[in-house]
Amino acid sequence: ANLSSTTPKSAIRARRGGAQSSIRAPRFTPNTSFFNNRISADWRSSLQHRCSASRAEHSGIGRDIGPGKKPSLQCGESRVRLESGGAQGSSAGVVTSNPEPRSVGMGMSRISFELKDDLEASPSDGILTACLEGSAASISPAYNAWKAEHPCPIQQFDSLMRQAAGKLVTVFLDYDGTLTPIVSNPEAATMSESTRGVVRRLAELFPSAIVSGRSRLKVQSFVQLAELFYAGSHGMDITGPAPGATAGAATWEDQVAFQPAAAFQPVMATLCEELEEAVRPFPGAVVENNTFCLSVHFRNCDAHSFPPILGLVEAAVASRSDQLRMTRGRKVLEIRPKLEWDKGTALIHLLGCMELADAEQVFALYIGDDRTDEDAFKVLAERGLGCGILVSTHAKPTAASWSLHSPSDVVAFLEKLVTWGRSGANAWQSKRSCKGWHIAARPTAAAAMPGLPPRTPTAPTPVARTPTQG
């Protein structure tokens, strides 16, 4: 359909050098006849169903603004956003989108924004994100072409599992944006009980691991499952299941515990204090200490705050350029040691420790949503050890073979995997165990993390020793 007549036009004025952008919200009436006349009732129903979870889990679309406020784009209960390949507004490497209105007038008090290179992969012909009764879905030809190359493993589950026929399946999961929605407050990214139950059942049937940029202690406190392997700080802090959590779990001394970046912990602690003080003038900026790496979140900042925050972080890293490096994630700056170690090398380390590194016998699944997960996707593809599944609402370059739309889709896929794992098709039904793990003979009660009361997200997990490389 020709959408030129319905494309919103915004007046955007941006000044370089960190000056605040001035944005005037558009008045826009969507061409609802496009949906009424050109989309069948069945397709429209499927569109609404597919994206109801997206609205709940991705606050940037169809979000509730708050009492007494109105969305900048509205037509009754429907809202439409047009994401074009070009930036809606940019300043110093920042693309502005998803504006929220001020409480007074129609100006903008805060803008959700991303780096330009984070959006390079967006289809050049634009993506129409239509919110029908609070739902959203991408319907551009470019997105559909990308989905054809990275199909949904729920819809084509049998095709995926044929690749795993006769092999030992292992599962690796990112946390934020994969098992839980991305949220404004990093401390509020708690796992739901239903998701926890699915992951617990998964770990009874397959060796399973959480691989996160979070500190290992923090992600363990969120997940609260002792049956899992954990790799925190982008894989730089690794441990296995707690003693007694599974029938094959070893003692703490014999586990796969490994901290390749242990020597960098003091410099990270010092830098964390410096950056916390440096970003204090910028409301919404948060520095998260992940033990062996730091995360500087700018998701809740004004768009004009990003250039000075970026400058501060770059300067801090430059002064320690022999030790540290900076990378970019989803509205976050990551500071990590200059170490040849990432989520991909952590995955290979874990498979090696479990004695599951033979591509002829093993099929590993890795599910993640961030660019840091690409290292794991690439390793699996290059070594023929399995495949990656990207969680994404838009098209972008990836080494993953499959794609899911949201964390709710991840849970749905894991539920199908659990059902498959209980059948004779699961090779673990014959193999039974590997180093540090054993298939559950029957469903068991959850084992509490050592030192943690069950379901207490803030309690710490003690580490019995500091492992050394080798």
What's the confidence (pLDDT) of residue 463? Answer: 41
- Asked if residue 389 is part of any domain, the answer here is yes
- Asked if residue 432 is part of any domain, the answer here is no
User: Which amino acid makes up residue 268?
Assistant: M
DSSP 8-state symbol, 16: S
Looking at the structure, do residues 228 and 365 belong to the same domain, yes or no?
A: yes
What's the confidence (pLDDT) of residue 2? Answer: 45
Looking at the structure, do residues 352 and 411 belong to the same domain, yes or no?
A: yes
Looking at the structure, do residues 294 and 418 belong to the same domain, yes or no?
A: no
pLDDT at 73 > cutoff 70: no
pLDDT at 459 > cutoff 80: no
DSSP 8-state symbol, 85: S
Looking at the structure, do residues 195 and 306 belong to the same domain, yes or no?
A: no
pTM over 0.75: no
Name the band, by pLDDT with cuts 50, 70 and 90, for residue 329.
confident
| Of the candidate ranges 98-102, 233-237, 332-336, 395-399, the one whose mean pLDDT is the lowest | 98-102
Tell me the C-alpha to C-alpha distance, in Å, between residue 15 and each of 88, 102, 112, 263, 304.
15, 21, 18, 42, 9
What's the confidence (pLDDT) of residue 141? Answer: 87
What's the confidence (pLDDT) of residue 441? Answer: 75
What's the confidence (pLDDT) of residue 321? Answer: 94
Burial 356-392 (b: 16+ CB within 10 A, else e): bbeeeebbbbbbbbbbbbbbbbbbbeeeebbbbbbbb
Sign (positive or negative) of CA dihedral 279, 281, 285, 290: positive
Catalytic residues: 174
Pairwise CA distance, residues 163 & 320, whole Å: 45
pLDDT of 403-421, one tens digit each? 999 999 999 999 999 999 9
Give the end of a domain, one of 337, 370, 392: 337
What's the confidence (pLDDT) of residue 469? Answer: 37
State the CB neighbour count (10 A cutoff) for residue 429.
13
- Asked if residue 42 is part of any domain, the answer here is no
Looking at the structure, do residues 385 and 326 belong to the same domain, yes or no?
A: no
pLDDT at 85 > cutoff 70: no
CB-CB contact of 413 with 389 (8 Å):
yes
- Give the helix ranges, DSSP H, for 104-188: 141-149, 157-163
Q: How many residues does the chain have?
A: 470
- Expressed as residue numbers, the domain containing 390 is 144-260+341-426
Looking at the structure, do residues 389 and 286 belong to the same domain, yes or no?
A: no
Residues 199-222 have a mean pLDDT of 97
The greatest distance separating any two alpha carbons of the chain, rounded to the nearest whole angstrom, comes to 67
Mean pLDDT in the chain?
Answer: 73
What's the confidence (pLDDT) of residue 139? Answer: 62
CATH number of domain containing 237: 3.40.50.1000
What's the confidence (pLDDT) of residue 442? Answer: 61
Give the end of a domain, one of 426, 443, 460: 426
Give the rounded percent of residues in the chain with a pLDDT score beyond 70: 61
Looking at the structure, do residues 242 and 281 belong to the same domain, yes or no?
A: no
Residues 179-198 have a mean pLDDT of 93
Looking at the structure, do residues 240 and 199 belong to the same domain, yes or no?
A: yes
What's the confidence (pLDDT) of residue 434? Answer: 92
- Asked if residue 101 is part of any domain, the answer here is no
Q: Which residue in 133, 145, 126 sits closest to 44, CA to CA? A: 133
- Asked if residue 238 is part of any domain, the answer here is yes
Task: Please provide the DSSP assignment of 363-396 as one string.
Answer: EEEEEE-SGGGHHHHHHHHHHTSEEEEEE-SS--
393 CB-side CA count, 13 A: 28
What's the confidence (pLDDT) of residue 255? Answer: 57
Looking at the structure, do residues 239 and 151 belong to the same domain, yes or no?
A: yes
pLDDT at 172 > cutoff 70: yes
Give the end of a domain, one of 387, 404, 426: 426
Burial 77-111 (b: 16+ CB within 10 A, else e): ebbbbbbeeebbbbbbebbbbbbbbeeeeeebebb
What's the confidence (pLDDT) of residue 245? Answer: 62
Number of domains in the chain: 2
CATH number of domain containing 285: 3.30.70.1020
Looking at the structure, do residues 163 and 288 belong to the same domain, yes or no?
A: no
- Asked if residue 151 is part of any domain, the answer here is yes
- Asked if residue 466 is part of any domain, the answer here is no
CB-CB contact of 461 with 210 (8 Å):
no
pLDDT of 2-15, one tens digit each? 444 444 443 333 33
Looking at the structure, do residues 160 and 216 belong to the same domain, yes or no?
A: yes
- Asked if residue 167 is part of any domain, the answer here is yes
Name the band, by pLDDT with cuts 50, 70 and 90, for residue 55.
very low
Looking at the structure, do residues 282 and 365 belong to the same domain, yes or no?
A: no
